[in-house]
Structure 1
Amino acid sequence: MNGWTLAPSLGWIAGGVLTALLLAAAVCGPILRYRQRASYDASWLTVGRRSLIALVMALIVLTPSQVQTTRNQAVNATDVYVAVDVTGSMAVQDAHYGSQDTISRLDAAKRAVSDITQSYPDASFAAVRFGSSGTLDLPLTPDGRALGNWARNLTTEPTDLSAGSSLDAPLDPLVLSLKETKDRHPDDRIVLYLITDGEQTSAKSRRSFSTLRAYLDDAFTLGVGSAQGGKVPVSSRTPRQGAQTGAQDWVKDPATGQPGISKMDEGQLKAMADEMSGHYLPIDASHTLKDGPAVKTAQRYRVQVTHGERTRVTPCVWPLALILLALLAWEMVDWIRTSRRLL
């Protein structure tokens, strides 16, 4: 729907006062000319022209504008971020995923990533791997197979490169990528899945995950491992090195000299979920991502197309400006002719 309206550029208060003054000037000119017709120098034509100038200026102050109503279409897509812990403790064989079969924590994480991909068929995905540091391995992409390939190729970081588990390692790459996504696609819904055993062995205090809250619509921390824990195998840079010796080396506790025991820290996982205003989901023999609340939540985050109307007001004063310019030019020519006559 198109039409016209008045939209004073100075606002209705200032614009209204200025318009009233200009209208008063346009009316007072002819009145004074009529009352003082015996001694008034200006002709009726001149008075009429000057009143017309005041009227045109009043209209310009009121700013006639064209109203245009347009229909727009907004696409609300979903962006899923997955962050997976690859510290040495993720190689502990104490995890389960929907069965009594014991697998490594990292394998349980891989199965969870596969279920995440299936739960969001129309989403875009990004992946962060974190150990001693965090890395954005997979920038945001609509290709779910890329996320699956990334997860299948995950391995724990070598033990000699590890500086202890630091749960806040993914914060920096996540903040940078989430902010960029939010700026580029402000209408998108963003969901984060953080998969880890929750173990914090670094001497430094963990930073809060509350910094991510401004960018997320929902968040889940997935806990892999067990409260009983298990021994941490030594991860070498060459995976076949341990197989050649025929013996498995274990990461030793510096305090006792015995193989250290790594346990899932459910308290840390719940605290991280609370900081993001999200949810904690255990991954074990009776809980998987398929039968958990995350799948039900995923139903809400599907691509949605919404239609709406937008009203646009466009000022249109250039015709009045041309008329005013012509009247002022006429006034100047008349003033020059009168001045020459008086010389």
Structure 2
Amino acid sequence: MSLSPLVGVPSLVLFAMLWASMVVVGVLRARNRRWVWLSALRRSLLGIVLFAALLGPVVQVEREDMATNTEILLVVDRTGSMAAEDVEGGPRLDAVSRDIMALLEATPGSRYSIVTWDGSARTELPLTTDTSAVASFAELLHQEISEFSAGSSLNRPLDDVLDILESSHELRPGNARYLIVISDGEATDPSDAEVSSTWQEVAPLVDGGAIWGFGTPEGGPMQTYQVGVGPTGEYIEDPDSPGQNAISRIDQHALQQLADYTQLPLTINPSEQQVAELGSQILDGAESVATRSRNNWSYNYVIWPLGIAAAVLIGWECISFAGTAATWRRRHAV
């Protein structure tokens, strides 16, 4: 057994000093000297029990966590067009967050890594089994800062994706790798508008995955996004039509071209059922390859015995107080 205090050391010291002072004051002010030391003992014991509980006694427990050999690489488009409000009446990224959470629930034990791109590509999360980190990413996902927007291209994250997959293939050849690219396919960078055929190099490095396209042919307007403000309520203006909102539309042709290069299926605005089906396919693949377990240690607080002792002492204190109160009423009865 070891200790994991529920409060800081200064708070523990302050509690001990205040409780000791209360007991001493109770002794000095007591009128009935006959039972004063019994009351002091009872209150001291209660203070010791509460102090022990605050110290946080814990026991170390061996815990077995199951982890598969599945690696899922999420590649997420964060450009301004992903804020277009044409998926279930809200921004595309809201639907993306929902689907990532659904995939997370459907693939327990999987390892995740995350790459995003806007004006540049970056690795947001290295390969991890920490599902809380993936969930936090999904919950906090938002579009790029509007004033720093540099256009969009499906090719922007390609180098990072290849580096991660090639490294994984070399270091962990027995693992199963899945790639999920999430975008609306819209290219607004005229210097890099065509989907690069280099995406074909991804196909032999993955065991499956999907291209998730978000948006509609009708499109939707996009709010601007500022640091410290978030969505501003103001919409991005169409540079070719001053005074008019810019409209972002999904580019299914570009997304299909990406799907053909990577040999992954294209799904437009995936439903919960489609996400669950992909999760099942991933788990089936993991089970057919391997599973791995690893031992960890967890710590469980053992406070319930102290809680019982405190309840007994508090009950004793209440009975004593009730007796004292009854005696006082008899003495002062008219």
Using structure 1 for the length normalisation, give the TM-score. Answer: 0.60
What residue is the counterpart of 1:207 in the other structure? 196
Q: Give the number of equivalent residue pairs.
A: 220
Q: Point out where structure 2 has 5 or more consecutive residues left out of the alignment.
A: 1-66, 292-334
Q: Distance in 2 between matches of 1:159 and 1:146?
A: 25
1:311 — aligned with what? none
Aligned to 1:78: 70
Post-superposition offset of 1:184: 0.7
Q: 1:121 aligns with which of 108, 128, 149?
A: 108
Q: Which residue in 2 is equivalent to 1:255?
A: 240
Q: Does 1:131 align with 2:118?
A: yes
Counterparts of 1:240 and 1:185 in 2: how far apart (Å)? 40
Could you tell me the TM-score, scaled by structure 2's length?
Answer: 0.62
CA distance in 1 between counterparts of 2:128 and 2:249 reads 34
Counterpart CA distance in 2 for 1:288 and 1:169 is: 28
Measure the CA separation in 1 of the matches of 2:230 and 2:144: 14
Q: Is the CA contact (8 Å cut-off) linking 1:283 and 1:289 kept in structure 2? A: no
- Residue 238 of structure 1 is matched in structure 2 by 228
The superposition leaves residues 221-263 of structure 1 with CA deviations (integer Å, 9 ceiling, x where unpaired) of 1111211111121222232583xxxxx3222222222221101
Matched, 1:301 2:285: yes
Structure 2 contact 219–248 (Cα < 8 Å) conserved: yes
Map 1:319-338 → 2, pairs under 5 A? none
**RMSD (CA atoms):** 2.1
Q: Which has the higher helix share?
A: 2
Question: What amino acid is the match of 2:246?
Answer: G
Query: Is the CA contact (8 Å cut-off) linking 2:70 and 2:177 kept in structure 1?
Result: yes
Residues 219 and 273, structure 1, Cα contact 8 Å, conserved in 2: no
Structure 1 segments of 4 or more deviating over 4 A?
A: 289-293
Change (3 A) 1:114 1:241: closer
- Work out the CA distance in 1 between the residues paired with 2:191 and 2:276: 33
| 1:45-124 map, 5 Å | 77-96=69-88, 102-124=89-111
Aligned match of 1:273 in 254, 259, 262? 259
Q: 2 CA distance for matches of 1:273 and 1:289?
A: 20
Question: Residues 92, 271 of structure 1: CA spacing in aligned structure 2 closer, same or farther, 3 A cutoff?
Answer: same
Cα distance in 2 for partners of 1:183, 1:192 equals: 17
- More off after superposition, 231-240 vs 130-139: 231-240
Which AA in structure 2 matches 1:272? L
- Taking the aligned partners of 2:230 and 2:238, their CA distance within structure 1 comes to 24
Match of 2:173 in 1: 186
Give the residue type in structure 2 aligned to 1:131. D
Q: Distance in 1 between matches of 2:223 and 2:217?
A: 18
Once residues 110 and 240 of structure 1 are traced to their aligned partners in structure 2, the CA distance between those partners, rounded to angstroms, is: 16
- Over 3 Å counting, the alpha-carbon distance change for 1:235 and 1:109 in structure 2 is same
Structure 2: distance between partners of 1:174 and 1:291: 22
Check whether the contact 1:115–1:290 (CA below 8 A) recurs between aligned residues.
no
Q: Secondary structure at the match of 2:143?
A: coil
Q: Percent identity among equivalent residues?
A: 27
**Equivalent residue of 1:163, what SS?**
coil
CA distance in 2, matches of 1:163, 1:218: 31
